[in-house]
Amino acid sequence: MTNLSVLYDAPGPRARRRNTLLAVLFVALLALGAWWVWRALDENGELESAKWTPFVNSQAWTTYILPGLQATLTAAALAMVIALPLGAILGIGRLSDHWWISKPCSVIVEFFRAIPVLLLMLFANEAYALWTNVDRADRPMYAVVTGLVLYNASVLAEVVKAGILSLPRGQRDAAQAIGMRKSQTMGYVLLPQAVTVMLPAIVSQLVVIVKDTALGGALLGYSELMRSVGLVSANYGNIIASFIVVALIYILVNFLITSFASWLEGKLRRGKRSTGKVLTADPAGATAAAGVGAAPAAGTGDAPKP
């Protein structure tokens, strides 16, 4: 895993003894912490079986959790499907030779990346209420998806831009040398190769989107997975248990997505048909630097990987 050897030489007998001692101390510390948490939970009666059995029966699942999960995944999928083409347009637009295309695209991207996605959702929610006749019940969903699209389109624009820039210069030169137009160069030569380079980064962005849908549940009343915590605990009086179960579902979903992304990345890196370069996403949702020199690094492999 980590290249330990940068920091540590192979341990000798003394280092090994010290490491064992550290391990024992650390385990003791962990056990102490675990005991403290356990006691706090036990004193408040959070460990009673009555609070956990709802998750063994199917009712809590079919009534609250699974519909919530479905709403979360729907919003995330919709946001991704809409944001991706928009992001591609903005990203390619930023690379345009015409300043009157590239400048506005840059401004849009930098603007939406600098603004918290929650503000975008609040704005969208109110905008739909004021200026459209979207049904009251559907409005939170529209607002969540709109907020996510605005933010993630600009993040994906950076991914697309970095993907295209990561291709060897010769690709563009060769395409132009055989007489292709700029649009042909982009459409037949650069973009298809860039897509394979940036696929892992795009999949990883899904994790950020899934996590951000929770905002809609907490602050706009979109009845997704996060909101089912409130519903379940209101019914069974088991706040801690429902938080833990729902958190585990999120972790599982995101773990599946990241595993898929790294599998894809490994496959593409080994693949013969691509340049062997792969964009790794910065999974912080932190891709959001306000621009300046913070585009995701191509193929350096030093971006934090999940």
Partner 1 sequence: MFEFLDLERYDLFGAFWVTVQLTFYSALGSLIWGTVLAAMRVSPVPIMRAFGTAYVHLFRNTPLTLIILACSQGLYFTLQFDMGTGGDPEPLGFRLAVLGFVAYTATFVCEALRSGINTVPVGQAEAARALGLNFSQVLRLIVLPQAFRSVVAPLANVLIALTKNTTIASAIGVAEAAALMKVMIENEAQLLPIAAIFAFGFIVLVLPMGLFLGWLSKRVAVKR
Distance CA 208, CA 286 (A): 9
Instruction: Please report how close the Cβ of residue 70 comes to partner 1 at its closest, in angstroms.
Output: 16
Question: Whose Cβ is closer to partner 1: residue 32's or residue 284's?
Answer: 284
Instruction: Please report how close the Cβ of residue 189 comes to partner 1 at its closest, in angstroms.
Output: 30
Instruction: Please report how close the Cβ of residue 76 comes to partner 1 at its closest, in angstroms.
Output: 11
Instruction: Please report how close the Cβ of residue 3 comes to partner 1 at its closest, in angstroms.
Output: 6
- Residues 197/271, Cβ–Cβ less than 8 Å: no
Q: Identify which of 101, 92, 79, 97 has the alpha carbon closest to the alpha carbon of residue 205.
A: 79
What are the structure tokens assigned to 156, written together? 């994906």
Residue with tokens 């190769």: 193
Question: Whose Cβ is closer to partner 1: residue 110's or residue 265's?
Answer: 110
Question: Whose Cβ is closer to partner 1: residue 170's or residue 293's?
Answer: 293
Instruction: Please report how close the Cβ of residue 68 comes to partner 1 at its closest, in angstroms.
Output: 12
> Strand locations in 127-259, DSSP E?
none
Helix (H) or strand (E) holding 92: helix 66-94
Instruction: Please report how close the Cβ of residue 127 comes to partner 1 at its closest, in angstroms.
Output: 6
- Residues 257/204, Cβ–Cβ less than 8 Å: yes
Distance CA 226, CA 211 (A): 10
Distance CA 304, CA 306 (A): 7
- Residues 200/281, Cβ–Cβ less than 8 Å: yes
Q: Identify which of 276, 280, 238 has the alpha carbon closest to the alpha carbon of residue 261.
A: 280
Cβ partners under 8 Å of residue 300, min gap 6: none
User: Which CA distances in Å does 139 have to 2, 70, 151, 291?
Assistant: 46, 17, 18, 31
Instruction: Please report how close the Cβ of residue 302 comes to partner 1 at its closest, in angstroms.
Output: 5
Q: What is the largest distance, in Å, between two alpha-carbon atoms of the chain?
A: 77
Question: Whose Cβ is closer to partner 1: residue 276's or residue 304's?
Answer: 304
